[in-house]
Amino acid sequence: MSASDESRQESAAAHRSPERWRAGLTRFVNVIPHTRELGLEVLEVAPPRVHMRLPWRDELLGDTERGLVHGGVLTMLLDTVCGSAVLCGLPAPEVCPTLDLRVDHYRPALAGQPIMAEARVLRVTGAMVFTEGTLWQDPQRPIARGIGNFVRLGPRNTPPGFAEALFGEDDHA
């Protein structure tokens, strides 16, 4: 990453404290019906890095007999955590749909335990945001890794008040 990219990302993040980002991304995942119903939690945000936790529930199962999580849950989680990292990796939050996502399944995830997710922005260009994410239950044993590329629709295609809605009405950043 070049020095200019670094400073641009820092200036975007410097506006708001990690606690403010955590509250903003918590609001973000709570507005998404799928992640709200699954109870996804935002643990920590250190732009452009995001750390989340998906609590256990029986609906996440894929192999009931062996007690393994459905692979699709892991893809869904990587899409969400990478997409959330995008918001805090930009100069200002923008609407960025997923262009593509690639997931490598290292080992099965086990029933009964929460799944931890972390993602970070690797690079921002005028058109794209490149991200990567990792999932684990035991920190020494990653479950899956994802590479997600997101398209910047730009401020023109971002609804007015998007950042204000994310950070609450009292946002003065």
Partner 1 sequence: MPEGFHDVAWLARTRAEGDVAAWLERLPYARYIGVTATPDASGDGLIFHLEPREHNVGNVLLPALHGGVVAAFMETAGTLDLMLSAREPRLPRVVDFSIDYLRTARVVTTHARCQLLREGRRLANVQVTAWQEAEDQPVATARLHLVLGAPEPNDA
Two tokens, residue 117: 């997710």
Question: Around Cβ 153, how many Cβ atoms within 10 Å?
Answer: 13
- Whole-number Å distance between alpha carbons of 173 and 147: 30
CB of 7 to partner 1, least distance (A): 31
Give me the helices (H) in 32-132, please: 33-38, 71-89
134 binds partner 1 (CB under 8 A): no
Two tokens, residue 162: 């998007």
112 binds partner 1 (CB under 8 A): no
CB of 14 to partner 1, least distance (A): 28
27 binds partner 1 (CB under 8 A): no
Q: Closer to partner 1 at the Cβ: 9 or 148? A: 148
Residues at the interface with partner 1 (CB under 8 A): 31-35, 37, 58-66, 69-73, 75-80, 83, 97-105, 159
